[in-house]
Structure 1
Amino acid sequence: MSKRGYHHGNLKQALVDAALSLIEAKSPQGFTLSEAAKAAGVTPAAVYRHFQGREDLIAEAARQGYVIFADLMEYAYQTGQPSALSSLEAVGRAYLAFARKYPGHYMAMFESGLSINANPDLSVVAGRASAVLERAARDLSDHIPESKRPPVAMVTAHIWAMSHGVVELYTRGTPGARAPFPAEELLESGIGIYLRGLGLISADT
């Protein structure tokens, strides 16, 4: 990339894009700020016009990823309506789709070691994504008597963990290389077994 982007005021995004490519190729810990600057076509000193350091650059890449992620989750939730189960399954599929389509963002978000709670901007956008999943879990729980209803936050955490596990084990790298079933089928069947065990859906659903 030439330095022209900087003169047009696009240096910040050029650096984020360069970081995303480097993250995907080398991991969040595997590149230097100098490498990101070189890929963006500027000197290392120019980076500090927009970022305090490498961690700040990765945090912005993660923030942008969470915005995309939350948008995809929200869209998936809406397309699954009016069925609460369909919405929850659609949100799970959106999780897998995001990891496949935006690997650099995904790695910046989940593999960089950033503290979400320590970064207000990250906390807001990450909370928006988890709120979509929580809404889907709450929709599914509404027909269960409150005394028998599992905590929505716990259901949300379990579904999130299941989705993340399928991504890490069977979607990252070469999809399908380590599992005899598509990742989407693994996730949906796992969610179904989990929800039946909680009594949130009937055994014949």
Structure 2
Amino acid sequence: MSKRGYHHGNLRQALVDAALELITDKGPTGFTLSEAAKKAGVTPAAVYRHFEGREDLIAEAALQGYEIFADVMEFAFDNGRPSALRAFEATGRAYLAFARKYPGHYVAMFESHISVNRTPELAKAAGRAKGILEQAARGLSERIPADRRPPASMFSAHIWAMSHGVVELFARGAPGTQSPFAPEDLLESGIGIYLRGLGLIEKD
């Protein structure tokens, strides 16, 4: 067997990259460590020098995914400022963009049943991503009178759930789930309805 995994100097990352390809193609439970090793060009025994098992390998993929996700969300948020509304809407669009560009990471993060509390590093990365969306929600919700203002964590959770639903149903190319509308349009209109209900934007 070729040992190309050793020659490029980063076997650990080669295994993560291999796992990401397999997760994209087969799902988080559809491959074995031996398959990941074969795709990385190393022996199965070499995997255990870096990962205790498949879940450990997937957790590393999720960690890297959350780090990329947080960077993407932070860029979108910063690019939308100083308008609180534009910054908030930009984070929703960034969610869809991330899911499309990094499908293996997305599945590892949200569909592998790996707890974000599995390691302190994973919890920190996931918390950073969540915190950016909450920051965007907090900035926008300050316009709502205090007695009617939902907690920023609830506000952001609603948008996160809406974004996740659009991704799962219409942005992943699942059979039988084609929509006559672009996922971005679905999310934008859904966010618009939500924000109108809170009195944050004018009715059409």
**TM (normalized to structure 1)?**
0.94
The aligned residue for residue 45 of structure 2 is 45
The aligned residue for residue 121 of structure 2 is 121
Name the SS of the counterpart of 1:124 in structure 2: helix
The aligned residue for residue 145 of structure 1 is 145
The aligned residue for residue 110 of structure 1 is 110
**TM (normalized to structure 2)?**
0.95
- In the alignment, the residues of structure 2 paired with residue 198 and residue 67 of structure 1 have an alpha-carbon distance, to the nearest angstrom, of 31
Name the SS of the counterpart of 1:203 in structure 2: coil
Contact 1:58/1:108, CA 8 A, preserved across alignment = yes
The aligned residue for residue 163 of structure 2 is 163
Contact 1:77/1:88, CA 8 A, preserved across alignment = yes
Contact 2:23/2:108, CA 8 A, preserved across alignment = yes
- In the alignment, the residues of structure 1 paired with residue 111 and residue 5 of structure 2 have an alpha-carbon distance, to the nearest angstrom, of 29
Residues 135 and 114 from structure 1, CA distance in 2 versus in 1: closer, same or farther, beyond 3 angstroms? Answer: same
Q: 1:145 offset after TM fit, Å?
A: 2.1
The aligned residue for residue 16 of structure 1 is 16
The aligned residue for residue 62 of structure 2 is 62
Q: How many residues align?
A: 204
Gaps of 5+ in 2: none
Q: 1:8 offset after TM fit, Å?
A: 4.5
- In the alignment, the residues of structure 1 paired with residue 167 and residue 73 of structure 2 have an alpha-carbon distance, to the nearest angstrom, of 15
The aligned residue for residue 85 of structure 2 is 85
Contact 1:20/1:105, CA 8 A, preserved across alignment = yes
- In the alignment, the residues of structure 2 paired with residue 174 and residue 29 of structure 1 have an alpha-carbon distance, to the nearest angstrom, of 18
Q: Which amino acid aligns with 1:137?
A: A
Residues 176 and 192 from structure 1, CA distance in 2 versus in 1: closer, same or farther, beyond 3 angstroms? Answer: farther
Contact 1:176/1:182, CA 8 A, preserved across alignment = no
Contact 2:4/2:42, CA 8 A, preserved across alignment = no
Q: Which amino acid aligns with 2:120?
A: P
Q: 1:143 offset after TM fit, Å?
A: 2.1
- In the alignment, the residues of structure 2 paired with residue 133 and residue 85 of structure 1 have an alpha-carbon distance, to the nearest angstrom, of 12
Name the SS of the counterpart of 2:181 in structure 1: coil
The aligned residue for residue 28 of structure 2 is 28
- In the alignment, the residues of structure 2 paired with residue 143 and residue 100 of structure 1 have an alpha-carbon distance, to the nearest angstrom, of 32
- In the alignment, the residues of structure 2 paired with residue 58 and residue 164 of structure 1 have an alpha-carbon distance, to the nearest angstrom, of 20
Contact 2:169/2:177, CA 8 A, preserved across alignment = no
CA RMSD of aligned residues (A): 1.7
